[in-house]
Chain A
């Protein structure tokens, strides 16, 4: 029956572990259905519920069809305008600001991970082509962990998931793949069938914990303390791998002396666990190898977040669980992202010297936006993100946006962010454009080709960048260096090198149209035991960290701080049917997914007189919200959970710098999970 459809290759560009290849089935110019692509060696033709629902995303009744102008901003009075008008307004403002300030620094771009395709770097390329501009830099997701992995190993690798089939012990440390990485579960189940034991360590008794042999509950952010307690036990009982340590690590003596001085009692107190649990974990790590540890992103969104990751890395190293088949401390990888990134660098010779960015911290964007006065930011381009629902200091942000003269948002739908925009430009989806997407977890690269014409007047970001560049150069010769005469396919072509083709075992990127390809990287991370650290070994003592005013030790007891006024921790944990603010508006998900609410332990609720499903107050140092209460015995009595797509949660959040992030992502992470709150019943 499939003969009647034309079938095209796509890839889900969302910020997710799986980065699935998708097949689109089109009939009479209409996308009819989607399925997974069997040629993808990791996702194997299987999608998640979000993926199968893309038809309802593409043809959603609320999808934007035309460029829209809101005048005045925030009034809700929207007017359809033509692309010519939209581009004229934007180009006119850019030229005007350039004349006023004699630079382009008043122009700012805030882009994040809404679409991770390589051609979605078009707006960054466009801004780079204007010379020096202002730019949101940094990363709200994984920056502390990226630095930690860099200090320890020098670069970022993951093992192929098949590697886990050789593991005897699997530790899912602060990761909930049942909700956030469903394709990995099959590998874990197969490892279980072959006799591996699965241990989940998490402050929340997650769906993954429910599928595990053992669940260890710890206090939020105390992962480093738990690792240190295990390390101390390992030292005291001579369970470390002396041979591995001698051969592949530096700083063992220093770290050992340091751990010796630390108190086991204090470590247990910090992580909230028993010596029996510590003994169990230590023995699994030392006697039931190889041990595969998967570290989630939540534990590094703490003030000591990078240190938490370093501690687990060190624990894996001292037990010889790195670089051997079935072992490893997995976090995320960049090894397959071998693109040239030429799309980012359209500088002609005369602009090259003037290029660069004036950084605005993406995690402290509201404050940084207001701080810049020479010249002030007057123009903001928002793309691949819903800034108003996914930012800290949201009230300050709203205030800061008032001082801007033009705000342009590229979107599929009207969002909280478009309410604060002057212009909204309708974007194409991955079924209407070319792109190439890699994964930060597995090692497959997929192509995205158009299946259907752009929905109404929507355009790809690349096309928008070209249009704008062309218009600006009409105003003023050589104003914009972003190429206006290159086709989409040429942009793809220039991202590949011979070395990249070799790693993909293809000769031309068009071969990706026959199916996704695996990049030929090591199947086991650090399998060759070559580390790109200054010492060429795993650094249990890192001079680089010390030089950056951090603890040189891969481990330690860092008290995460408590506040008697705000005695509870509110965790922002991802849920399975949405990715942050994406997929919020799909009818079928509204059916299967609960109303946004806050989860707390029923005994805590009883103590506070809060009824189930009643409204309750949550107060942080930053602000106060009223929210529906729901009960969960998955939590302890000091911890609450809210999903980060909740429209109110930003009111509670400010920017609390994590310890790391500066080296790899140009800005420290936000300690989002150090959110101390108090709760009361509404009345």
Chain B
């Protein structure tokens, strides 16, 4: 059976340190404004007080990728293992993919005049290495999971602020944060 690789982001472990984002930037030597992964804060009023959490997302390597449909030159392919690959050699920089993606994942590189996005480091995966963000997260909060094989306990596909998953069926899943006990004095 074909694989269905996707990210599993553990919000319980994530501390919002941005090491995933910046280690990826450093490894791929991206221009100052470019990034393939981003860490965003889920504000208290979204998650429900008093929990505040961070969520790290890259390309969601969707089952039904909107970028691939929108690309006029066929620069996007979906591999058998589920990874959505963008071929920069074919890309004409029209930015249609960026507009089509509900998660605004593909970014325009103003120097190369091409789009750019996370490839789940497939060339590393193919030789048995982990993607950079997975390897460099100090808290082991990002994993690659074959969702055809396992359905991790407590994993959810929808979190506040995340676009409706029925559009493109993203493979990214999340483990939510659990609040502790507090003795606060006002």
Contact = CB atoms under 8 A, between A and B. Distances in A.
Interface of A: 32-36, 45-49, 52-53, 55-56, 178, 182-183, 185-186, 189, 205, 207, 209-219, 272-274, 276-277, 280, 576-577, 587-588, 591-592, 633, 636-637
A303 B26 CA distance: 43
Given A56-B32, A185-B139, A186-B140, A49 B17 contact: yes
Contacts of B53: 210
Nearest to A603: B186
B44 A182 contact: no
Contacts of B139: 182, 185-186, 189
Interface string B155-171: 00000000000000000
4 residue pairs, one from A and one from B, having the closest CB atoms: A52-B22, A49-B18, A49-B22, A587-B32
Nearest to A277: B183
Given A47-B136, A49-B19, A633-B49, A33 B183 contact: no
A178 B185 contact: no
A211 B22 contact: no
Contact of B183 (A52, A53, A216, A588): A216
A35 B15 contact: no
A185 B15 contact: yes
B52 interface: yes
B110 interface: no
A210 B48 CA distance: 13
Nearest to A36: B136
A52 B50 contact: no
B185 A212 contact: no
30 contacts: A33-B27, A35-B136, A46-B137, A47-B19, A49-B18, A49-B21, A52-B22, A53-B22, A56-B32, A182-B17, A183-B138, A207-B16, A207-B52, A209-B180, A210-B51, A210-B177, A210-B179, A211-B15, A211-B180, A214-B180, A217-B185, A218-B185, A273-B185, A576-B16, A576-B18, A577-B18, A588-B33, A588-B35, A633-B44, A636-B184
B61 interface: no
B99 interface: no
Given A47-B23, A186-B140, A32 B29 contact: yes
Interface of B: 13, 15-19, 21-23, 25-27, 29, 32-33, 35, 39, 44, 49-53, 136-140, 177, 179-186
Chain A CB within 10 Å — which of B13, B17, B136 has the most?
B17
Contact of B182 (A52, A214, A276): A214
A52 B26 contact: yes
A36 B180 CA distance: 32
B175 to A, nearest CB: 13
Contacts of B26: 33-35, 52-53, 55
A179 to B, nearest CB: 8
Contacts of A45: 136
Given A214-B181, A215-B183, A592-B21, A186 B27 contact: no
Contact of B39 (A53, A592, A637): A592
Contacts of A280: 183
B181 A215 contact: yes
B180 A636 contact: no
B33 A587 contact: yes
Contacts of B39: 592
Contacts of A53: 22, 25-26
A46 B25 contact: no
B22 A588 contact: yes
Given A186-B139, A214-B182, A277-B183, A592 B18 contact: yes
A371 to B, nearest CB: 43
Contacts of A55: 26, 29
Nearest to B183: A277
Chain A CB within 10 Å — which of B52, B136, B137, B186 has the most?
B186
Contacts of A636: 184-186
Contacts of A205: 50, 182, 184
Chain B CB within 10 Å — which of A36, A48, A49, A280 has the most?
A49
Given A210-B51, A588-B22, A215 B17 contact: no
Contact of B184 (A189, A213, A215, A591): A215
B131 to A, nearest CB: 14
Contacts of A273: 183, 185
Chain A CB within 10 Å — which of B18, B39, B52, B179 has the most?
B18
B184 A35 contact: no
Contacts of B21: 49, 588, 592
A186 B13 CA distance: 9
A186 to B, nearest CB: 6
A592 B182 CA distance: 29
A588 B23 CA distance: 12
Nearest to B45: A633
A189 B179 CA distance: 15
A212 B180 contact: yes
Contacts of A178: 15-17
Chain B CB within 10 Å — which of A32, A178, A280 has the most?
A178
Contact of A210 (B13, B35, B52, B136): B52
B184 A217 contact: yes
A38 to B, nearest CB: 10
Contacts of B23: 35, 47, 52
A280 B182 CA distance: 12
A592 B52 CA distance: 16
Given A214-B181, A215-B181, A273-B183, A186 B138 contact: yes
A212 B136 CA distance: 23
B10 to A, nearest CB: 10
A374 B27 CA distance: 56
Chain B CB within 10 Å — which of A47, A276, A577, A637 has the most?
A47
B15 A182 contact: yes
